[in-house]
């Protein structure tokens, strides 16, 4: 049976020991988030996740959402859980106190999000989309829009959506056809259809506020003609309560592979009244305020699923008796030994553990950088931290979701046939994790973003935000005999990364297809090195605390770091070889030959 307990010890290690999260209390607006407060937030979030959300995960998946006559009902228990969620202030934990939020650091909020995703990813979609809408309106909305909508988002009584995708366009938003006709009162009439809209219709809140990409009649073609509009399900009355029904309605919900308790909707706009957000024809800039936050959030979804799959796999490996150890019985008093004695099972568990904890550390580094990019004292500091965020956002999104899916599969593998059936809950994690590699920009798009935008931006400045601290760490620790194995592994992989970046940059200048062909491998190479850097830092810290380690926590960190460096990081060698092989064998194949083996 699936199990989840919030990994608070490791979370505190990342927040407090690895990155000095308590020091965030010195930044403007974070003074209330002392160590005691942070611990209390984590404890309460862990209880909510384990005791309220996790018990609804399997039942919500089995029941799914119900659609009838344009109305969506969430699974049994979701409304009550959502009321408990907003009563605890969780919808506004990271929001500005000006609008009723608690203003917690983004790094702390990241850990709360992870717990929600581990315990019930489908449930987390509803407040998660709202937070994205909050971010976009806070940055680009008018004062009136902020005062009307943000307090409702923060207290959780209204929710938000992102309405981008249409039947003919997903990634290529320049193909958007939804129309926005200007009206005499300054509003717009929206007409069109959006698909794959998460939380587009449900019964959890009093109102649902859609942020919609559309184009005005005289807008330029393509992406330059896209504007962003706010379009509520119910038009707000002067007193701020929901008023008349707007022309935005749900046409159907999707029948999906996973996250079945999250309503994924077709939303039809039929002369729906909306208002411009930000500048005309500058909608993508505002929408990216949602998408960049969402991409990091999706990476954390992958992390959350990786954690819960690992916990389930570990429990089963300890309890399930199968066979004997290869060197003889480990538990001779029992009819068989537990699965955990077998090398292949141990390798699977260590793979899951090292990738999960390494990704948690990496996501924490980025989240801490978000806090500092917003609140650091100098422009130079803010820029430096933002550069790191820009570079590592596609890494957190893509690699975080890749390991979520891969580790969920490893969890099923550990369970064997019992993992494949529904009873134990493991197969749901595989199904839920699969979408994370697709939405908010497929992982292939993240790779193109890295190669096409991030590597070349500001003459490689984003890369330097990562390369410099890695190089500095290697130089400072190369002569430490205790760290020799760790540092050598990191240095070799880092050298491969530098070589790969140079090769892709050189080939891509003359042939963009070469850069595109190498993009996914390069993103994975950067990801493995990024997580390797986290493990090197964690090992350095853990070695210094082995003398006072009653629970074996730091000993476990050192041993997991050694596993990662010796068994997983060497994959960078194969990735480099693939990158250096170039894209000729990919692009040389004539289109018609792809189907040459299929009978006419």
Residue 128 confidence (pLDDT): 95
Taking Cα atoms as reference points, which of 356, 128, 374 lies closest to residue 262?
128
Residue 290 confidence (pLDDT): 73
Indicate the burial class of 1 (C-beta count within 10 angstroms; 0-12, 13-18, 19 or more).
exposed
Superfamily designation of domain 8-140: Acyl-CoA dehydrogenase/oxidase, N-terminal domain (1.10.540.10)
Residue 374 confidence (pLDDT): 95
Residue 440 is among the residues annotated as catalytic for this protein: yes
Helix axes 379-415, 461-477, angle to 10 degrees: 70
Helix axes 379-415, 512-543, angle to 10 degrees: 90
Span 159-283 CATH architecture:
Beta Barrel (2.40)
Specify the 3-state DSSP secondary structure of 544.
coil
The ranges of the chain with pLDDT < 50 are: none
Taking Cα atoms as reference points, which of 396, 522, 439 lies closest to residue 171?
439
Ramachandran region of residue 41, left (φ > 0), alpha (ψ -120 to 50) or beta?
alpha
Residue 288 confidence (pLDDT): 77
> Alpha-carbon distance 389 to 402, whole Å?
19
Taking Cα atoms as reference points, which of 289, 341, 359 lies closest to residue 117?
359
Residue 379 confidence (pLDDT): 96
Residue 95 confidence (pLDDT): 97
Q: pTM of this prediction?
A: 0.97
Specify the 3-state DSSP secondary structure of 507.
helix
Question: Residue 342 corresponds to which tokens in the numbers above?
Answer: 């077998």
Residue with tokens 């990801």: 527
Question: What's the DSSP call for residue 166?
Answer: B
> Alpha-carbon distance 322 to 318, whole Å?
11
pLDDT in tens, 370-412: 999 999 999 999 999 999 999 999 999 999 999 999 999 999 9
Indicate the burial class of 244 (C-beta count within 10 angstroms; 0-12, 13-18, 19 or more).
exposed
Residue with tokens 């077709």: 266
Domain boundaries, the chain: 8-140, 159-283, 443-584
Residue with tokens 């790191």: 388
What are the respective helix, strand and coil percentages of the chain, to the nearest 5?
A: 65, 10, 25
Tell me if 114 sits within 8 A of 297, measured CB to CB.
no
Catalytic option among 440, 484, 584, 590:
440
């Amino acid at each position: 049976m699936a199990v989840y307990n919030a990994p608070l010890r490791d979370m505190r290690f990342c927040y407090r020991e690895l990155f000095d999260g308590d020091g965030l209390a010195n930044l403007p607006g974070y003074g209330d988030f002392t160590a005691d407060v942070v611990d209390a937030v984590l404890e309460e979030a862990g209880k909510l996740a384990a005791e309220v959300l996790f018990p609804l995960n399997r039942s919500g998946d089995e029941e799914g959402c119900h659609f009838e006559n344009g109305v969506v009902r969430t699974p049994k228990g979701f409304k009550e859980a959502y009321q408990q969620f907003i009563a605890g202030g969780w919808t506004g934990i990271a929001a500005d106190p000006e609008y009723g939020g608690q203003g917690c650091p983004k790094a702390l909020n990241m850990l709360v999000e992870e717990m929600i995703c581990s315990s019930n990813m489908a449930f987390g979609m509803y407040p998660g989309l709202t937070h994205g809408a909050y971010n976009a309106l806070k940055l680009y909305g008018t004062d009136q829009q902020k005062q009307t909508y943000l307090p409702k988002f923060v207290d959780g009584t209204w929710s938000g959506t992102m309405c981008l995708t249409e039947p003919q366009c997903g990634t290529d938003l320049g193909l958007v056809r939804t129309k926005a006709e200007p009206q005499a009162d300054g509003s717009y009439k929206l007409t069109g259809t959006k698909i794959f809209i998460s939380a587009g219709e449900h019964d959890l809140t009093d109102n649902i506020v859609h942020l919609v990409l559309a184009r005005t009649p005289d807008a330029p073609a393509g992406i330059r003609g896209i504007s962003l509009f706010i379009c509520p399900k119910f038009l707000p009355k002067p007193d701020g309560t929901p008023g008349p029904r707007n022309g935005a309605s749900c046409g159907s919900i999707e029948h999906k592979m996973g996250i079945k308790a999250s309503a994924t909707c077709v939303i039809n706009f039929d002369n729906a009244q909306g208002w411009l957000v930000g500048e005309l024809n500058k909608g993508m800039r505002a929408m990216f305020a949602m998408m960049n936050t969402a991409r990091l959030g999706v990476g954390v979804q992958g992390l959350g699923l990786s954690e819960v799959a690992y916990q389930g796999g570990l429990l089963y490996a300890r309890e399930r008796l199968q066979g004997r150890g290869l060197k003889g019985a480990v538990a001779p008093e029992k009819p068989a030994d537990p699965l955990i004695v077998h090398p292949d099972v141990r390798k699977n568990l260590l793979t899951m553990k090292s990738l999960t904890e390494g990704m948690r550390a990496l996501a924490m580094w980025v989240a801490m950088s978000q806090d500092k990019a917003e609140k650091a004292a100098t422009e130079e500091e803010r820029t430096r931290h933002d550069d790191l965020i820009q570079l590592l956002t596609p890494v957190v999104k893509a690699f975080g979701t890749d390991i979520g899916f891969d580790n969920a599969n490893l969890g099923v593998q550990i369970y064997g046939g019992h993992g494949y059936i529904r009873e134990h809950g493991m197969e749901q994690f595989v199904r839920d994790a699969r979408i994370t590699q697709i939405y908010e920009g497929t992982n292939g798009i993240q790779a193109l973003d890295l190669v096409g935008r991030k590597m070349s931006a500001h003459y490689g400045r984003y890369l330097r935000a990562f390369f410099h601290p890695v190089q500095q760490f290697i130089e400072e620790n190369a002569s430490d005999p205790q760290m020799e194995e760790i540092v050598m592994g990191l240095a070799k992989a880092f050298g491969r990364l530098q070589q790969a970046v140079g090769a892709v940059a050189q080939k891509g200048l003359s042939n963009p297809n070469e850069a595109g062909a190498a993009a996914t491998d390069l993103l994975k190479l950067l990801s493995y090195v990024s997580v390797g850097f986290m493990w090197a830092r964690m090992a350095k810290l853990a070695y210094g605390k082995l003398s006072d380690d009653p629970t074996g926590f730091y000993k476990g960190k050192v041993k997991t770091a050694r596993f990662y460096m010796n068994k997983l990081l060497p994959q960078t060698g194969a990735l480099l070889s693939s990158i250096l092989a170039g894209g000729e064998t990919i692009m040389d194949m004539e289109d018609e030959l792809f189907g040459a083996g299929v009978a006419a």
